[in-house]
Structures are given as structure tokens and as C-alpha cells.
Amino acid sequence: MELTPETVAAERDRIRASQTVVPLLNHTRDHLGDQFGVDVAHVSQEQYRAEVDVVFANGDRGVNVAAYAGLLRTLDVEGDYPGFVADEVLGRTLAATIAGGEPLGTLAEATFHGADLLVDDSEATAGADDLDAALAAGFQTRLPGWAWRERESPFSVQPE
């Protein structure tokens, strides 16, 4: 794999054009909302595309997102199971990179596993389903819609 500004831009365009991420992202939010007894706002395709642009506008983050996505897109393992660890690690790491640091990175990693269970991977290569799950987990974590993210933290300590 060779990463250049052009290949990073091409990966951004592929991720931005995806028609599978937003439905999976919203399905994941519905599932998590049910689990935690909260309502979580859905994300539109336009919100997703705008946030993809934000992620890739940070060149350091964008090149890493492009690398992880490219690896997952092309990863396949005969029989799949022997490659289970590799695609899971790449998926978790991609989700955390998209989310943008702690504590959101850890939340995205945890969410990745839930999203991965919701992907219909019957026709996918070993890494393709994890790519969709990682994109859904990472972007759902960083996008608005969670009430706890839209309020002032009760743990914020103000300077005296």
C-alpha cells in the first residue's frame, strides 16, 4: 500500500460515498439506545458526509483513517476465522481514530463490536464487514445525538 495525498483523497471519497454506513450507524444507535434506555438522534447522509470531510481535513488523522480503511477493504483470509484477530484490531483502531481521542476513542472501540454484530457479512470479505462496522462506530461516536455529549460535564472543574 502506498499512501499519497491523492490516495488519501480517493479513500475519503469512497468513505464519503458509502451508502451502507449511515443505515448501519443509525441501526447501531437504535440498538445502543435500547440497551441504555435513551433516545439517540439519527444521523443523515449529509451529516455523515460533512463529518467525513472534517475527519479528513486533519491530514494526520486522514492519512491514518485512509490506511486502516484500505487495509480492511483488501483484507481477506481463507476461511476467515484465522484472520479474525487482524480484522478486529484494525476495525477497533479505525473506529477509535475516527472518534478522535479519549474518551471517545474507547467508546468507539467498544461500539465497534456491537456494530460488527449488526453487519450482514454473508457476502463480505474478512475485512469488508469490519470496515463498515468501524466507520459506523467511529462516526456515530463523534457525531451529535447523544444527550450526555450535548450538556456541560458535571465533572468540569473551573479555574478559580
Task: Per-residue pLDDT tens, the chain, 160 aa: give them.
Answer: 899 999 999 999 999 999 999 999 999 999 999 999 999 999 999 999 999 999 999 999 999 999 999 999 988 777 666 667 788 899 999 999 999 989 999 999 999 988 888 886 656 677 788 999 999 999 999 998 887 777 787 788 889 8
* Dist CA 122 CA 25 (whole Å): 19
Query: pLDDT value at position 123?
Result: 61
Copy the grid coordinates of residue 120: 450482514
Q: Give the residue extent of every domain in the chain.
A: 5-146
> How far are the Cα atoms of 11, 73, 111, 132 from residue 70, in angstroms, in the given order?
7, 5, 21, 12
User: What is the predicted pLDDT for the residue at 151?
Assistant: 79
Q: What is the Cα–Cα distance from 83 to 148, expressed in whole angstroms?
A: 36
Tell me the pTM: 0.91
C-alpha cell at 57: 481535513
Residue 90: what pLDDT? Answer: 93
User: Measured in whole angstroms, how far is the alpha carbon of residue 39 from the centre of its chain?
Assistant: 20
What are the cell numbers at 150?
450535548
Residue-level pLDDT at 121? 66
pLDDT at residue number 13:
98
Say if residues 87 and 69 touch (Cβ distance below 8 Å): no
Compute the half-sphere exposure of residue 52: CA atoms within 13 Å on the CB side of its CA.
Answer: 24
